[in-house]
Structure 1
Amino acid sequence: MKSYQITEWCHESFRIHAKRGGVYIDATMGNGNDTLFLCRMAGETGRVKAFDIQQQAIDATEKLLERNGLRQRAELLLESHTNMGLYERKETVDGIFFNFGYLPGGDHSLATKPENSLRAILEGLELLKKGGAMSLCIYSGGDTGFEERDSILEMLKNLDSRKYVVILSTYYNRENNPPIPVLVLKK
Protein backbone atom coordinates (compact mmCIF):
# COMPACT_ATOMS: atom_id res chain seq x y z
CA MET A 1 0.00 0.00 0.00
CA LYS A 2 1.23 3.47 -0.83
CA SER A 3 1.92 5.88 2.01
CA TYR A 4 0.35 8.87 0.24
CA GLN A 5 2.82 11.37 1.55
CA ILE A 6 2.43 14.73 -0.14
CA THR A 7 5.41 14.24 -2.45
CA GLU A 8 4.14 10.85 -3.64
CA TRP A 9 0.70 12.33 -4.26
CA CYS A 10 2.22 15.22 -6.20
CA HIS A 11 4.42 12.86 -8.23
CA GLU A 12 1.43 10.72 -9.22
CA SER A 13 -0.70 13.74 -10.16
CA PHE A 14 2.19 15.28 -12.09
CA ARG A 15 2.94 12.04 -13.96
CA ILE A 16 -0.61 12.03 -15.39
CA HIS A 17 -0.15 15.46 -16.97
CA ALA A 18 3.56 15.73 -17.79
CA LYS A 19 5.11 14.20 -20.86
CA ARG A 20 8.16 11.99 -20.71
CA GLY A 21 11.31 13.42 -22.21
CA GLY A 22 10.40 16.99 -21.32
CA VAL A 23 12.13 20.00 -19.83
CA TYR A 24 11.65 20.23 -16.07
CA ILE A 25 12.55 22.49 -13.17
CA ASP A 26 12.85 21.54 -9.53
CA ALA A 27 12.44 25.02 -8.06
CA THR A 28 13.22 23.94 -4.48
CA MET A 29 15.78 21.13 -4.70
CA GLY A 30 15.98 20.21 -1.02
CA ASN A 31 17.34 16.68 -0.60
CA GLY A 32 16.83 15.88 -4.27
CA ASN A 33 13.85 13.53 -4.29
CA ASP A 34 11.85 15.65 -6.73
CA THR A 35 14.97 16.20 -8.85
CA LEU A 36 15.41 12.43 -9.04
CA PHE A 37 11.74 12.01 -10.02
CA LEU A 38 12.08 14.68 -12.72
CA CYS A 39 15.29 13.10 -14.06
CA ARG A 40 13.39 9.86 -14.51
CA MET A 41 10.56 11.75 -16.24
CA ALA A 42 13.06 13.53 -18.49
CA GLY A 43 14.61 10.27 -19.64
CA GLU A 44 17.50 10.31 -22.10
CA THR A 45 16.07 13.11 -24.25
CA GLY A 46 14.82 15.60 -21.65
CA ARG A 47 16.60 17.82 -19.17
CA VAL A 48 16.25 19.06 -15.60
CA LYS A 49 17.37 22.22 -13.85
CA ALA A 50 17.23 22.19 -10.04
CA PHE A 51 17.51 25.28 -7.83
CA ASP A 52 18.37 25.80 -4.18
CA ILE A 53 20.15 28.47 -2.16
CA GLN A 54 21.89 26.00 0.16
CA GLN A 55 25.06 24.11 -0.70
CA GLN A 56 23.81 21.32 1.59
CA ALA A 57 20.91 20.76 -0.84
CA ILE A 58 23.23 20.68 -3.86
CA ASP A 59 25.50 18.15 -2.16
CA ALA A 60 22.64 15.88 -1.04
CA THR A 61 21.00 15.97 -4.46
CA GLU A 62 24.24 15.29 -6.29
CA LYS A 63 24.87 12.21 -4.13
CA LEU A 64 21.31 10.94 -4.63
CA LEU A 65 21.51 11.34 -8.41
CA GLU A 66 24.95 9.69 -8.55
CA ARG A 67 23.67 6.69 -6.52
CA ASN A 68 20.87 6.31 -9.05
CA GLY A 69 23.07 6.79 -12.13
CA LEU A 70 21.25 9.96 -13.20
CA ARG A 71 23.67 12.76 -12.32
CA GLN A 72 24.21 13.70 -15.97
CA ARG A 73 20.51 14.48 -16.47
CA ALA A 74 20.36 17.46 -14.10
CA GLU A 75 21.98 20.85 -13.85
CA LEU A 76 22.18 21.73 -10.14
CA LEU A 77 22.16 25.47 -9.51
CA LEU A 78 23.10 27.26 -6.29
CA GLU A 79 20.53 29.93 -7.04
CA SER A 80 17.18 31.25 -5.84
CA HIS A 81 14.04 29.91 -7.47
CA THR A 82 13.06 33.52 -8.10
CA ASN A 83 15.74 33.55 -10.84
CA MET A 84 14.48 30.59 -12.90
CA GLY A 85 13.78 32.95 -15.78
CA LEU A 86 17.50 33.59 -16.18
CA TYR A 87 17.98 29.92 -17.11
CA GLU A 88 14.95 29.10 -19.27
CA ARG A 89 12.91 31.06 -21.80
CA LYS A 90 9.19 31.71 -21.58
CA GLU A 91 6.93 28.82 -22.59
CA THR A 92 9.77 26.27 -22.89
CA VAL A 93 9.26 24.21 -19.71
CA ASP A 94 7.00 21.15 -19.45
CA GLY A 95 6.83 20.98 -15.67
CA ILE A 96 7.93 22.63 -12.43
CA PHE A 97 8.02 21.28 -8.87
CA PHE A 98 7.93 23.34 -5.68
CA ASN A 99 8.19 22.25 -2.03
CA PHE A 100 7.65 25.24 0.24
CA GLY A 101 9.03 25.41 3.75
CA TYR A 102 12.55 24.45 4.76
CA LEU A 103 15.15 21.86 3.86
CA PRO A 104 14.38 18.67 5.83
CA GLY A 105 17.26 18.25 8.26
CA GLY A 106 18.53 21.74 7.43
CA ASP A 107 18.48 25.19 9.00
CA HIS A 108 14.83 26.12 9.65
CA SER A 109 15.70 29.82 9.54
CA LEU A 110 16.27 29.38 5.79
CA ALA A 111 12.64 28.58 4.98
CA THR A 112 10.98 29.89 1.83
CA LYS A 113 9.38 33.32 2.22
CA PRO A 114 5.99 34.48 0.90
CA GLU A 115 7.23 37.31 -1.30
CA ASN A 116 9.92 35.16 -2.95
CA SER A 117 7.61 32.19 -3.34
CA LEU A 118 4.93 34.30 -5.06
CA ARG A 119 7.52 35.78 -7.43
CA ALA A 120 8.89 32.32 -8.21
CA ILE A 121 5.44 30.84 -8.90
CA LEU A 122 4.55 33.70 -11.25
CA GLU A 123 7.93 33.36 -12.98
CA GLY A 124 7.36 29.62 -13.31
CA LEU A 125 3.92 30.12 -14.86
CA GLU A 126 5.54 32.28 -17.53
CA LEU A 127 8.12 29.57 -18.24
CA LEU A 128 5.54 26.79 -18.59
CA LYS A 129 4.49 25.69 -22.06
CA LYS A 130 0.80 25.44 -22.83
CA GLY A 131 -0.19 22.06 -21.46
CA GLY A 132 2.58 22.26 -18.83
CA ALA A 133 2.12 21.33 -15.19
CA MET A 134 3.27 22.90 -11.93
CA SER A 135 3.19 21.00 -8.66
CA LEU A 136 3.21 22.82 -5.34
CA CYS A 137 3.68 21.09 -1.98
CA ILE A 138 2.66 23.69 0.58
CA TYR A 139 3.80 23.08 4.16
CA SER A 140 2.50 25.46 6.80
CA GLY A 141 2.74 23.96 10.26
CA GLY A 142 5.40 24.42 12.88
CA ASP A 143 7.94 27.14 12.35
CA THR A 144 7.24 27.69 8.63
CA GLY A 145 4.19 29.75 9.53
CA PHE A 146 0.94 30.30 7.76
CA GLU A 147 1.58 33.57 5.96
CA GLU A 148 3.25 31.83 3.01
CA ARG A 149 0.47 29.26 2.70
CA ASP A 150 -2.25 31.91 2.79
CA SER A 151 -0.42 34.15 0.30
CA ILE A 152 0.11 31.31 -2.17
CA LEU A 153 -3.47 30.06 -1.92
CA GLU A 154 -4.87 33.56 -2.41
CA MET A 155 -2.71 34.12 -5.49
CA LEU A 156 -3.68 30.74 -6.97
CA LYS A 157 -7.37 31.41 -6.35
CA ASN A 158 -7.08 34.57 -8.43
CA LEU A 159 -5.26 33.10 -11.44
CA ASP A 160 -7.11 33.63 -14.70
CA SER A 161 -9.31 30.54 -15.17
CA ARG A 162 -9.09 30.99 -18.95
CA LYS A 163 -5.33 30.38 -18.75
CA TYR A 164 -4.90 28.00 -15.81
CA VAL A 165 -6.61 25.11 -14.05
CA VAL A 166 -5.78 25.01 -10.33
CA ILE A 167 -6.52 21.75 -8.50
CA LEU A 168 -6.13 21.93 -4.75
CA SER A 169 -6.27 18.70 -2.73
CA THR A 170 -6.51 18.33 1.00
CA TYR A 171 -5.80 15.69 3.59
CA TYR A 172 -9.26 16.08 5.04
CA ASN A 173 -8.92 13.77 8.05
CA ARG A 174 -5.38 14.71 9.14
CA GLU A 175 -4.75 17.00 12.08
CA ASN A 176 -2.08 19.60 12.77
CA ASN A 177 -2.12 21.59 9.54
CA PRO A 178 -1.28 18.87 7.00
CA PRO A 179 0.55 19.88 3.82
CA ILE A 180 -1.50 21.00 0.85
CA PRO A 181 -0.82 19.49 -2.59
CA VAL A 182 -1.72 21.74 -5.53
CA LEU A 183 -1.47 21.10 -9.27
CA VAL A 184 -1.60 23.99 -11.74
CA LEU A 185 -2.11 23.22 -15.43
CA LYS A 186 -1.47 25.84 -18.11
CA LYS A 187 -4.17 25.83 -20.79
Structure 2
Amino acid sequence: MVPERTASATAWAQAFIAPVLIPGSVAVDATAGKGLDTEFLARGVGAAGRVFAFDIQPGALEITRQRLVTAGLLERVTLLLRDHAAMAAHVPPPVKAVMFNLGYLPGGDHRIITRPGTTLRALQDALALLAPQGRLSLVVYTGHPGARQEQETLEEYVAQLPPREYTVLRLAFWNRSPRAPVVILVEKAGGGS
Protein backbone atom coordinates (compact mmCIF):
# COMPACT_ATOMS: atom_id res chain seq x y z
CA MET A 1 0.00 0.00 0.00
CA VAL A 2 2.46 2.64 -1.11
CA PRO A 3 0.86 5.50 -3.05
CA GLU A 4 2.43 6.88 -6.21
CA ARG A 5 2.74 10.32 -4.55
CA THR A 6 4.29 9.48 -1.20
CA ALA A 7 4.68 13.15 -0.31
CA SER A 8 0.97 13.62 0.35
CA ALA A 9 -0.97 12.64 3.47
CA THR A 10 -4.13 12.36 1.37
CA ALA A 11 -2.34 10.03 -1.06
CA TRP A 12 -1.57 7.67 1.84
CA ALA A 13 -5.20 7.80 2.94
CA GLN A 14 -6.46 7.06 -0.57
CA ALA A 15 -4.01 4.17 -1.00
CA PHE A 16 -5.36 2.63 2.21
CA ILE A 17 -9.00 3.11 1.20
CA ALA A 18 -8.74 2.04 -2.46
CA PRO A 19 -8.72 -1.76 -1.94
CA VAL A 20 -12.13 -1.78 -0.22
CA LEU A 21 -13.94 0.32 -2.82
CA ILE A 22 -15.94 -2.13 -4.87
CA PRO A 23 -18.58 -1.41 -7.50
CA GLY A 24 -21.98 -0.92 -5.88
CA SER A 25 -20.62 -0.11 -2.42
CA VAL A 26 -21.40 2.86 -0.17
CA ALA A 27 -18.72 5.33 0.89
CA VAL A 28 -18.61 8.61 2.84
CA ASP A 29 -16.55 11.74 2.45
CA ALA A 30 -17.09 13.25 5.89
CA THR A 31 -15.47 16.57 4.89
CA ALA A 32 -16.04 17.27 1.18
CA GLY A 33 -13.88 20.40 1.01
CA LYS A 34 -12.75 20.77 -2.59
CA GLY A 35 -14.04 17.34 -3.59
CA LEU A 36 -10.80 15.44 -4.14
CA ASP A 37 -11.76 12.53 -1.90
CA THR A 38 -15.38 12.68 -3.06
CA GLU A 39 -14.25 12.22 -6.66
CA PHE A 40 -11.85 9.43 -5.64
CA LEU A 41 -14.63 7.60 -3.77
CA ALA A 42 -17.14 8.10 -6.61
CA ARG A 43 -14.75 6.51 -9.08
CA GLY A 44 -14.19 3.59 -6.72
CA VAL A 45 -17.83 2.73 -5.98
CA GLY A 46 -18.76 2.69 -9.67
CA ALA A 47 -22.03 3.62 -11.33
CA ALA A 48 -24.07 1.37 -9.02
CA GLY A 49 -22.47 2.74 -5.83
CA ARG A 50 -23.24 5.78 -3.72
CA VAL A 51 -21.05 8.36 -2.01
CA PHE A 52 -22.39 10.66 0.70
CA ALA A 53 -20.35 13.87 0.95
CA PHE A 54 -20.77 16.20 3.94
CA ASP A 55 -19.69 19.79 4.41
CA ILE A 56 -21.01 22.73 6.43
CA GLN A 57 -19.94 25.29 3.83
CA PRO A 58 -22.12 25.84 0.74
CA GLY A 59 -19.05 27.03 -1.17
CA ALA A 60 -17.22 23.77 -0.51
CA LEU A 61 -20.16 21.74 -1.76
CA GLU A 62 -20.38 23.90 -4.89
CA ILE A 63 -16.67 23.33 -5.60
CA THR A 64 -17.23 19.61 -5.07
CA ARG A 65 -20.32 19.60 -7.28
CA GLN A 66 -18.45 21.33 -10.10
CA ARG A 67 -15.59 18.82 -9.81
CA LEU A 68 -18.05 15.93 -10.02
CA VAL A 69 -19.88 17.43 -13.00
CA THR A 70 -16.58 17.87 -14.84
CA ALA A 71 -15.64 14.25 -14.06
CA GLY A 72 -19.09 12.93 -15.03
CA LEU A 73 -19.62 11.49 -11.54
CA LEU A 74 -22.33 13.67 -9.96
CA GLU A 75 -25.04 11.01 -10.26
CA ARG A 76 -23.08 8.75 -7.88
CA VAL A 77 -22.91 11.32 -5.08
CA THR A 78 -25.33 12.77 -2.54
CA LEU A 79 -24.07 16.18 -1.41
CA LEU A 80 -25.19 17.11 2.10
CA LEU A 81 -24.97 20.60 3.58
CA ARG A 82 -24.65 19.13 7.06
CA ASP A 83 -22.12 18.66 9.81
CA HIS A 84 -20.48 15.26 9.60
CA ALA A 85 -21.84 14.62 13.10
CA ALA A 86 -25.21 14.05 11.34
CA MET A 87 -23.79 11.09 9.42
CA ALA A 88 -25.83 8.38 11.15
CA ALA A 89 -29.09 10.11 10.17
CA HIS A 90 -28.21 10.29 6.46
CA VAL A 91 -26.07 7.27 5.53
CA PRO A 92 -27.41 3.72 5.22
CA PRO A 93 -25.14 0.91 6.40
CA PRO A 94 -23.09 -0.99 5.52
CA VAL A 95 -20.38 1.44 4.46
CA LYS A 96 -17.13 0.23 2.92
CA ALA A 97 -15.11 3.42 3.36
CA VAL A 98 -15.16 6.72 5.24
CA MET A 99 -12.66 9.53 4.69
CA PHE A 100 -12.05 12.60 6.86
CA ASN A 101 -9.77 15.57 6.09
CA LEU A 102 -9.81 17.67 9.23
CA GLY A 103 -9.04 21.34 9.66
CA TYR A 104 -10.26 24.11 7.37
CA LEU A 105 -11.09 24.51 3.70
CA PRO A 106 -7.87 25.42 1.85
CA GLY A 107 -8.32 28.91 0.48
CA GLY A 108 -11.42 29.38 2.63
CA ASP A 109 -12.19 31.03 5.94
CA HIS A 110 -9.66 29.63 8.43
CA ARG A 111 -12.03 30.37 11.29
CA ILE A 112 -14.39 27.64 10.03
CA ILE A 113 -12.72 24.46 11.26
CA THR A 114 -13.60 20.95 12.28
CA ARG A 115 -14.03 20.60 16.04
CA PRO A 116 -13.14 17.77 18.45
CA GLY A 117 -16.67 17.13 19.76
CA THR A 118 -18.48 16.88 16.44
CA THR A 119 -15.60 15.06 14.77
CA LEU A 120 -15.50 12.49 17.56
CA ARG A 121 -19.26 11.93 17.22
CA ALA A 122 -18.86 11.55 13.45
CA LEU A 123 -16.00 9.10 13.96
CA GLN A 124 -18.07 7.01 16.37
CA ASP A 125 -20.98 6.93 13.91
CA ALA A 126 -18.66 6.10 11.02
CA LEU A 127 -17.20 3.14 12.89
CA ALA A 128 -20.71 1.87 13.65
CA LEU A 129 -21.67 2.19 9.96
CA LEU A 130 -18.56 0.43 8.66
CA ALA A 131 -19.03 -3.01 7.13
CA PRO A 132 -16.75 -5.84 8.24
CA GLN A 133 -13.34 -5.20 6.63
CA GLY A 134 -14.42 -1.60 5.95
CA ARG A 135 -11.82 1.12 6.23
CA LEU A 136 -11.68 4.66 7.57
CA SER A 137 -9.06 7.37 7.18
CA LEU A 138 -8.48 10.57 9.12
CA VAL A 139 -6.05 13.13 7.75
CA VAL A 140 -5.53 15.45 10.71
CA TYR A 141 -4.06 18.83 9.86
CA THR A 142 -2.35 20.29 12.90
CA GLY A 143 -1.28 23.83 12.02
CA HIS A 144 -4.31 25.87 13.04
CA PRO A 145 -5.75 26.90 16.43
CA GLY A 146 -7.62 24.00 18.06
CA ALA A 147 -6.03 21.38 15.82
CA ARG A 148 -3.88 19.76 18.49
CA GLN A 149 -6.89 19.32 20.76
CA GLU A 150 -8.79 17.62 17.92
CA GLN A 151 -5.80 15.39 17.16
CA GLU A 152 -5.40 14.40 20.82
CA THR A 153 -9.13 13.69 21.22
CA LEU A 154 -9.17 11.42 18.18
CA GLU A 155 -5.91 9.66 19.01
CA GLU A 156 -7.07 8.94 22.56
CA TYR A 157 -10.31 7.50 21.21
CA VAL A 158 -8.84 5.25 18.51
CA ALA A 159 -6.11 4.03 20.89
CA GLN A 160 -8.89 2.52 23.02
CA LEU A 161 -10.61 0.63 20.18
CA PRO A 162 -10.62 -3.13 20.87
CA PRO A 163 -7.81 -4.75 18.85
CA ARG A 164 -9.95 -7.78 18.03
CA GLU A 165 -12.47 -5.47 16.36
CA TYR A 166 -10.24 -2.80 14.79
CA THR A 167 -6.73 -2.36 13.47
CA VAL A 168 -5.47 1.21 13.91
CA LEU A 169 -2.37 2.72 12.31
CA ARG A 170 -0.91 6.18 12.78
CA LEU A 171 1.34 7.64 10.09
CA ALA A 172 3.40 10.76 10.72
CA PHE A 173 6.07 12.50 8.68
CA TRP A 174 9.34 12.43 10.64
CA ASN A 175 11.38 14.68 8.37
CA ARG A 176 8.87 17.51 8.04
CA SER A 177 7.51 20.27 10.17
CA PRO A 178 5.90 19.18 13.47
CA ARG A 179 2.79 20.84 12.01
CA ALA A 180 2.63 18.34 9.12
CA PRO A 181 -0.60 16.36 8.97
CA VAL A 182 -0.99 13.05 10.77
CA VAL A 183 -2.82 10.16 9.10
CA ILE A 184 -4.89 7.73 11.17
CA LEU A 185 -6.06 4.57 9.40
CA VAL A 186 -8.66 2.17 10.82
CA GLU A 187 -9.84 -1.19 9.51
CA LYS A 188 -12.82 -3.00 11.01
CA ALA A 189 -12.35 -6.73 11.57
CA GLY A 190 -13.98 -9.19 9.22
CA GLY A 191 -17.24 -10.94 9.92
CA GLY A 192 -15.73 -14.43 10.15
CA SER A 193 -14.52 -16.21 13.27
Query: Does TM, scored on the shorter chain, surpass 0.5?
Result: yes
Gaps of 5+ in 2: none
In structure 1, how many angstroms separate the alpha carbons of the residues matched to 2:137 and 2:169? 10
Aligned length: 186
TM-score by length of 2: 0.91
Q: 1:140, 1:177 within 8 Å by CA — same for their partners in 2?
A: yes
Note closer, same or farther for the CA distance 1:144–1:56 as it changes in structure 2 (3 Å cut).
farther
Q: What SS does the corresponding residue of 2:111 show, helix, strand or coil?
A: helix
The residue that corresponds to 1:45 in the other structure is 48
The residue that corresponds to 2:63 in the other structure is 60
In structure 2, how many angstroms separate the alpha carbons of the residues matched to 1:32 and 1:93? 19
Matches within 5 A, 1:9-48: 9-48=12-51
Gaps of 5+ in 1: none
What's the % identity of the aligned pairs?
38
In structure 2, how many angstroms separate the alpha carbons of the residues matched to 1:115 and 1:145? 12
TM-score by length of 1: 0.94
Q: Does 1:70 align with 2:85?
A: no
Q: Does 1:141 align with 2:143?
A: yes
In structure 1, how many angstroms separate the alpha carbons of the residues matched to 2:61 and 2:35? 8
In structure 1, how many angstroms separate the alpha carbons of the residues matched to 2:146 and 2:68? 28
Q: 2:25, 2:48 within 8 Å by CA — same for their partners in 1?
A: yes
The residue that corresponds to 1:176 in the other structure is 178
1:180 Cα deviation after fit: 0.7
Q: What SS does the corresponding residue of 2:100 show, helix, strand or coil?
A: strand
Q: 2:54, 2:79 within 8 Å by CA — same for their partners in 1?
A: yes
1:21 Cα deviation after fit: 3.4
Deviates more, 1:72-81 or 1:1-10: 1-10
In structure 2, how many angstroms separate the alpha carbons of the residues matched to 1:72 and 1:19? 17
1:151 Cα deviation after fit: 0.7
In structure 2, how many angstroms separate the alpha carbons of the residues matched to 1:144 and 1:57? 21
Q: 2:45, 2:51 within 8 Å by CA — same for their partners in 1?
A: yes
Q: 1:29, 1:51 within 8 Å by CA — same for their partners in 2?
A: yes
Matches within 5 A, 1:78-157: 78-89=81-92, 91-157=93-159
